[in-house]
Amino acid sequence: MLSWVSISCRNYAMSDHWGAISRLVWLLLLVWVSVPISASSAQPISPTEELSVRKVVVLDPGHGGHDPGAVGPSGLAEKVVVLSVAQEIREILSPTYEVHLTRDDDYSVDIERRTEVANHYRANIFISIHAGGAFGHQGRGTVIFYHRRRNAGSGSTPYRQYGNSWETGEKPIPWEDIQGKHTAESQLLAELVHRHLTGKLSPVDAGIREAPLLVLESADMPAVLVEIAHLSHPAEEAQLRKPEVISAAAQAISEAIKEYFKDCP
């Protein structure tokens, strides 16, 4: 568990800044090649429409289909709870940000596919949402995870020893270590989600933890896994049956995302 950590977003902001510039350059090129040189009758392209670059948020409602996740003592399934939370977050944030869900109904999605969706959309933030089924169904309370590399500290290559192969010819970063580029920003995101969720829900506070997480390890952006609560506990299942609690959780995570983008424009 972590105590309060003060994390600067400056490095992330720099890389994000260059990422935004890179996207703008590509968009400009696309606009340029898509306008016929002699087509004087072509519809003018609005630069504001073509060049709007909104922050991208990918939300991952855990489980789905044949995998219910945790199931509460009275039968409430985690897959149902987390989809409701993700859909409410999308509703709150869509006017401001581009929001995608890894699943939008009750079907199964491979873990690797969930990360691929985030990378495909070049998300600025990836949040996997759970309610007690990611790490077994024990315990209770709200807990936020960020990724720690598998085998970290047991002789594996430290992330810092990987070079930028396209610049230096050094060995490239393996996909399973990509999240290591974003650890500081993921910690900041975890801290914000934790602060807002515990402020809104008054849950048992199980804190912030780091752990090897398959769904986050190949995510090439700041990413966290949120356990809103633990359905296996009767009192927490009773809370998660209330629509106002689902809305409060969605509101809290949305506020954390907004604050993150304020800190990391």
CB of 61 to Zn ion, least distance (A): 9
Shortest Å distance, C-beta 137 to Zn ion: 9
203 sits near Zn ion (criterion: CB under 5 A): no
Question: 147: buried, middle or exposed (CB in 10 Å: 19+, 13-18, 0-12)?
Answer: buried
- Interaction of residue 133 with Zn ion, rule CB under 5 A: yes
Residue 134 Cβ, how far from Zn ion at the closest point, in Å? Answer: 4
Q: Does 62 bind Zn ion (CB under 5 A)?
A: yes
Question: Could you say whether residue 134 binds Zn ion (CB under 5 A)?
Answer: yes
Which of 103, 130, 147, 148 is close enough to bind Zn ion by CB under 5 A? 130
**Could you say whether residue 86 binds Zn ion (CB under 5 A)?**
no
Strands 56-61 and 98-101: parallel
Q: How far is CA 236 from the centre of its chain?
A: 24
CB of 225 to Zn ion, least distance (A): 8
Number of residues that bind Zn ion (CB under 5 A): 5
CA 178 to chain centre: 14
What does the alpha-carbon distance between residue 38 and residue 163 come to, in Å, rounded to a whole number? 46
Write the interaction track for Zn ion spanning residues 18-57; mark x where CB under 5 A is met and - where it is not. ----------------------------------------
Closest CA to 87 of 113, 110, 64: 64
CB atoms within 10 A of CB 226: 28
